[in-house]
Structure 1
Amino acid sequence: MSEQEAADAAASAAAPRKRAAAKKATATAKKTAQAEKAPTGKKTAAAKKSPAGQTAAKKTAGKKAAAKKATAKKAPAKKTAVAAKKATAAKKVPAKKTPGGKPESRESRAKRAARLNEALAEVYYYAHPELDFENPFELLVATVLSAQTTDLRVNQTTPALFAAYPTPEDMAAANPEELEELIRPTGFFRSKAKSLLGLSAALRDDHGGKVPGTIDELVKLPGVGRKTAFVVLGNAFGVPGLTVDTHFGRLVRRWKLTEQTDAVKVEQEIDDLLPESEWTMFSHRTIFHGRRICHSRKPACGACPIAELCPSYGEGETDPEKAKKLLKYEMGGQPGQRLKPPADYPGRPAPPLPSRDPATEPPAGQSADAAAGAQR
């Protein structure tokens, strides 16, 4: 074999080994390249270190912070709304407090009640029940009929009624339709007729035809409540009691003597402020004032003879000339008619309000407690 042939044979034998080595080198190169691509976290960290990466990171962080602030602002909205409602409710609560912030004492309210009662007694010296009656039974019937109507209308209706049924026995035996027709002008005549028939039968059967003289027995009669019972007790039997009707309740609240709206609670609080002997007449005077001057919608503040004692002065018309047009005549006359006592009291005009001593009495609208604190 020549040298050339031997070399060719050696090369042919080495070729498979070279190809295997080349394949192995190629596989190793691929693995190395994959290993270099795998650690993306390192590349990301590196990218963050670059200026462009830092800018992007700052923008992302800014967006996240803004989103958190927006969420934080929206979250307590309910709490804010609840707090606002509580604050509003607290403002609306009418607390009986003096300018110093302390609750007004009973003594202070009692002094104001006494001054008001004294002033009303001077103005309405002729105050009396405005229902016409000659005996307790007639007063009881007239008071039941006075619900939701005027005393004037009742007084126009009762003469014919009492002529037809002068006693409880007569009224208990009345024909319901005929009774209804007689009392129709007073309104709600069917329900009122039912009450009159029921109370007349109870008087006949349980009380010997006589009106009882106690609150407990009166309120058991059909159609008779505490207001009606006290009208009868105070004016037919001389038993002191407060008549808490709509006029009375409205005025004692305006005078800051009570904040109660329930008639029984009003009665209890005012009872505690005045002597028992004054209860009946204080009711008459207050009701007179409510019907004539201190109206529900348009009080005639500018023509009120007790204005300087009223803590609520200014709720109505304060101009004297305009206020005079709001005054009402006795027994529900027309606005603008001259206010004067009835014909039973001729020649005696209502006297002016007695002068006050500024050194001993607080200004209008200020409690005695507050005035005492100011002096100290």
Structure 2
Amino acid sequence: MRTKLRLAAMLLISAGLAFLATGCQDPYLTGANITLSKPPDELSQDDYRAVIRTLQSAIEQGFPQNYGKYYAMLAYCHYNTSQFKLTRSMMDSSIKYWPDKADSLGEVLKGYWGLQFNLSLEQLRKATGMPKDSSGPFVARAQTHLNNAMEIIPDRVEDYILQAQIHRFSGRNDEAKVLFEKAIKADPNNPDVHYQLGRIAYDAKNWDEAAMHLEKASGLKQDNHLWLFLLGEAYLMKGDYPRAQKAFQKSASLNPEDKYAWFNLGQSFFYEDKDLRSAIQAFEKALAVDDSYMEALDLLGLSYLHKAVLDFDNGIRVYKSAVEMRPDKIEYWTNLLYCYKQKKMKAEAAAVEKRIKQLQK
């Protein structure tokens, strides 16, 4: 990462020294360029400090027309000596004295910021991939790099978001929420921030607020099945079954191997108690993904026995599977017995009654 920065900066420095080809000589830039032209891995902190001293003398005694170049090189040296506030200050001065290169210099400044920001993000990602009690050093490094980035360019929305994520990972949800809200004011159509606010509300069981932000997030980024799943759960907890159904249908269509999306879709129809056939279809799809999913099997059986359905053949099929997986559960045997009796299957019913009596002893 540092090597990439050095090479990029050398291109900037080389461009700044193009005037030498026209016969204009500046001993300060020449000396600085000679030092910085060494292979990046051979440059030491002392080398950077020597160049800083040279360029500071240049500003006092050198060529005013080259101040923009002096300051650009100073910014590079200050970055490589971890003086990030000075990096920003020097780049501001470079832009002031080198206005025709303002756009390019602005991109270089963003590059300095981006390197520290990405280092912070990398450390936080490492922290999230390990046990919590081992993540402390990575979180600390993430915070350090983010602080550096904010010294280079303060008040970027990306900084608010990453700082909030660090707070959230560290369990400081209230502080995270404040920063996410600050970010959403600056960028109201940022789907990731709406998701984070929705997730904080979801974890706090604030279903109204969770649904509001997750609805916004999934509307702005419509291909995220997890966001839609959480949105569906928020609506399910609110008892808003039609909206829950819509969210789970979208989530399941994006990730058809997610048994939980199909199961929750089935639940939203089951508890609404209006369209049991749709509930059955969803539970069957959940079981097609995982035929040992007991929660889905349980509600599927109850759906087949519902007064609006009364499908005893499928009820027998489901409860035979259920008692095979949970032979100790009397409720499943009782429902299987009910199905056999409704179908007038006397021998099968008698065998089940015998089994129930054994379990009741």
- Note whether the superposition's TM-score is higher than 0.5: no
Q: TM-score, normalised by structure 1?
A: 0.24
Q: TM-score, normalised by structure 2?
A: 0.25
Compare relative contact order (CA 8 Å, sep 6+) and give the higher one, 1 or 2: 1
